Chains A and B, each alone.
Chain A
């Protein structure tokens, strides 16, 4: 069930309750409306001029109803039409004059029944005595300064006349001045009207001055672009005269309190004055006058007489419903709307609510998905834990086996390494061979000792012998041998304090001189 259907059902229930208890027909929402423009229901109820029955919504055509209801309330004449996608489906005209909100409310239900309106969006084209339009020329300011200027001007107006809804319509810009038209509607009127509509669940989103649809039609006049024309439009018992350029800005607007059908000559005089004013003030003569009225053919000749033969006067049969159709074709966001701020607030509210709705459901979906995933993961984890518990003895056995295996591996490797690394190289035989090879001619070894000192972790040696040479030669030969041994792979280091050489006493006279030598030291070869 969509929101609209739900609301429709609620509205029907509310209507039934209202009919059952007419004195308490509107439940007051003490929290207030979303904008300052909205009246409180309780306050409005007191000002209501006539008791109203809650509108019963007709059967829905579709799931959502985007129909728009338009009212043209033009100086006592009231017309209504419904639009679906900017196309009029039903229209209704009030046979009697409607001047006050009370009279409006009295015929409203009949209008709604006639147009068979099932939606809520409502707009109003309004022209009456209390809806005023003030023309002014203001210097060209920055936008913020202009807004401040207008606000101060509205504040002054409100001090004298009470609160108003207002909107500024820019006209032509001449001589560094901006011509504007201020549309001012007493807020009390709006509050009263709004309350009447609210009771029927009609959402008044736009209040348009007649000049808005008139400008729309003016721009569609078959004339060259920027051609100055004057449009005289019948609005009930009055006539609106609008001067403007086709496809360009409006020049001015004025309302003549004269009926075009009953006083065509008076209207003609005023239109002629407007022609002259246009020519003098804007330095561009209007080329034609367009008469938009229900029956403007007879008045056209009168206007032709008053305006001169050179002016083209064209009568365009136009009914108030045509104004409604023109207004329906305009964008809902068009700026000349007394309730534009309300519309903005409403759109923002709907956007925020929609966003919150989407986020909430999306968040819930994500949360459920996340928890579902977490639950699924936990089920798997729990199954693994249970499986682990079932296999605990096997795990313990595995651990013991692996510990034994790793310990044995470690022990075996340590043992193998110890056996292989603790081997001693064949240093004694190597040193003996080296010394024997380096021993100079005439030298012989008497004693040779090499031993491994396990505590010091090094080899030490000592050998002595004799050499048949004089002292100098023997010293040189021994030194040479020492040098060779030191450079050998055994890395021999001799003790410096050892007594290296001593002369042996001659035993046989005439025998060669013999020197004894003694060398000792360590080997850095392990």
Chain B
């Protein structure tokens, strides 16, 4: 192995330092002939070492120092891609529209119920609505929304010959699209004479003040 390496080295030396027409040229001349090969190889080695020992570590250290900033920049980019101002405006508009469907505060349920009373009267029914106290557990932590329950008793007005039909028409007005009011319970009773009474339970969406 040692001899093989030595022979290989000698062969390389002979080939690379060959002087044309002078096979046994002196070592000094051979060395000079080797210079055109030695110079680029040495330069490559020096460049490589300079890069590995000096440049690369320096660049790495600077990159490491700036890493938090790069992360910050990436976060900003991700956040920018995660939404847009248009989308935010649209969401705000939708939220505002949804907010208008809710009562701003529980006290304002009175006018709503009064309105239902008037509507019922117009439909041939006398209505009595009463707001019930809302349970504390109904408040949602995620969204500022909770429901207030109200109970109403309905009896047909005197002279209302079409009590059932007018009741059906009136019940259809309990879920207006622009207000968060839903009918949650309906009880109707008819006595032997055919007189009907109804009881309704409503839930009205209310916004939790921020």
User: Are B15 and A349 in touch, CB under 8 angstroms?
Assistant: yes
User: Are B145 and A415 in touch, CB under 8 angstroms?
Assistant: yes
Contacts of A415 in B (CB 8 A): 95, 98-99, 143-145
User: Are B10 and A32 in touch, CB under 8 angstroms?
Assistant: yes
* Shortest CB distance B156–A (Å): 15
Contacts of B98 in A (CB 8 A): 415-416, 418-420
User: Are A34 and B18 in touch, CB under 8 angstroms?
Assistant: yes
Known: A395-B72, A399-B75, A428-B185. A34 touches B14 (CB 8 A): yes
* Shortest CB distance A437–B (Å): 10
Q: Once the chains are docked, how many angstroms separate the CA of A388 from the CA of B16? A: 52
User: Are B69 and A392 in touch, CB under 8 angstroms?
Assistant: yes
Q: What 10 pairs between A and B have smallest CB-CB spacing?
A: A120-B21, A27-B26, A203-B21, A412-B95, A402-B79, A428-B186, A429-B171, A419-B98, A424-B182, A364-B40
* Chain B residue at smallest Cβ distance from A351: B15
* Shortest CB distance A352–B (Å): 5
Contacts of A39 in B (CB 8 A): 24
Known: A385-B69, A432-B188. A10 touches B88 (CB 8 A): no
Contacts of B23 in A (CB 8 A): 33-35, 38, 198, 203
- Listed in ascending order, the chain A residues whose CB lies under 8 Å from chain B are 3-4, 6-7, 10-11, 14, 26-29, 31-35, 38-41, 119-121, 198, 201-203, 349-350, 352-353, 356-357, 360-361, 363-364, 367-368, 371, 375, 378, 382, 385, 388-389, 392, 395-396, 398-399, 402-403, 405-406, 408-416, 418-420, 422-429, 432-433, 436, 444-452, 454
- Asked whether B160 is an interface residue with its Cβ less than 8 Å from the other chain, the reply is no
* Shortest CB distance B170–A (Å): 9
Known: A203-B20, A349-B18. A448 touches B83 (CB 8 A): no
- Asked whether B129 is an interface residue with its Cβ less than 8 Å from the other chain, the reply is no
Contacts of B62 in A (CB 8 A): 382, 385
Contact with A along B64-77 (1 / 0, CB 8 A): 00100110110110
Subset of 24 A-B contacts with CB under 8 Å: A3-B33, A10-B29, A14-B26, A33-B23, A41-B24, A356-B15, A356-B37, A385-B63, A399-B76, A402-B76, A402-B79, A402-B83, A405-B83, A406-B79, A409-B88, A415-B145, A416-B95, A422-B205, A428-B185, A429-B171, A444-B194, A445-B190, A449-B187, A450-B185
User: Are A385 and B66 in touch, CB under 8 angstroms?
Assistant: yes
**Chain B stretch 145-188: residues in CB contact (< 8 A) with chain A:** 145, 164, 168, 171-172, 174-175, 180, 182-188
* Shortest CB distance B112–A (Å): 16
- For the A-B complex with A38-B24, A367-B44, A432-B168 known, give 4 more contacts whose Cβ atoms are closer than 8 Å: A33-B23, A371-B47, A406-B79, A428-B183
* Chain A residue at smallest Cβ distance from B200: A428
User: Are A429 and B168 in touch, CB under 8 angstroms?
Assistant: yes
Q: Once the chains are docked, how many angstroms separate the CA of A385 from the CA of B95? A: 40
User: Are A360 and B190 in touch, CB under 8 angstroms?
Assistant: no
Q: Once the chains are docked, how many angstroms separate the CA of A46 from the CA of B22? A: 19
Interface of B, secondary structure class, is helix
Contacts of A41 in B (CB 8 A): 24
**Chain B stretch 27-77: residues in CB contact (< 8 A) with chain A:** 27-30, 32-33, 36-37, 40-41, 43-44, 47-48, 51, 55, 59, 62-63, 66, 69-70, 72-73, 75-76
* Chain B residue at smallest Cβ distance from A465: B190
Q: Once the chains are docked, how many angstroms separate the CA of A361 from the CA of B36? A: 8
- Asked whether B2 is an interface residue with its Cβ less than 8 Å from the other chain, the reply is no
- Residue of A360, A399, A405 near B88 (CB, 8 A) is A405
* Shortest CB distance B202–A (Å): 10
Contacts of B203 in A (CB 8 A): 424
Contacts of B10 in A (CB 8 A): 31-32
Contacts of A436 in B (CB 8 A): 164, 168
- Asked whether B19 is an interface residue with its Cβ less than 8 Å from the other chain, the reply is yes
User: Are B188 and A447 in touch, CB under 8 angstroms?
Assistant: yes
User: Are B188 and A33 in touch, CB under 8 angstroms?
Assistant: no
Contacts of A40 in B (CB 8 A): 24
* Shortest CB distance B61–A (Å): 12
Q: Once the chains are docked, how many angstroms separate the CA of A425 from the CA of B177? A: 11
User: Are B37 and A451 in touch, CB under 8 angstroms?
Assistant: no
Contacts of B143 in A (CB 8 A): 411, 414-415, 418-419
User: Are A364 and B44 in touch, CB under 8 angstroms?
Assistant: yes
* Shortest CB distance A1–B (Å): 11
Contacts of A202 in B (CB 8 A): 21
User: Are A3 and B20 in touch, CB under 8 angstroms?
Assistant: yes
Contacts of B180 in A (CB 8 A): 419, 422-423
Known: A14-B26, A428-B183. A360 touches B40 (CB 8 A): yes
- Asked whether B91 is an interface residue with its Cβ less than 8 Å from the other chain, the reply is yes
Contacts of A29 in B (CB 8 A): 24-27, 30
- Asked whether B189 is an interface residue with its Cβ less than 8 Å from the other chain, the reply is yes
Known: A34-B15, A361-B40, A409-B91. A389 touches B25 (CB 8 A): no
User: Are A413 and B95 in touch, CB under 8 angstroms?
Assistant: yes
* Shortest CB distance A372–B (Å): 10
Contacts of A11 in B (CB 8 A): 22
User: Are A350 and B18 in touch, CB under 8 angstroms?
Assistant: yes
Q: Once the chains are docked, how many angstroms separate the CA of A447 from the CA of B192? A: 11
Q: Once the chains are docked, how many angstroms separate the CA of A39 from the CA of B79? A: 80
**Chain B stretch 92-135: residues in CB contact (< 8 A) with chain A:** 92, 94-95, 97-99, 101-102
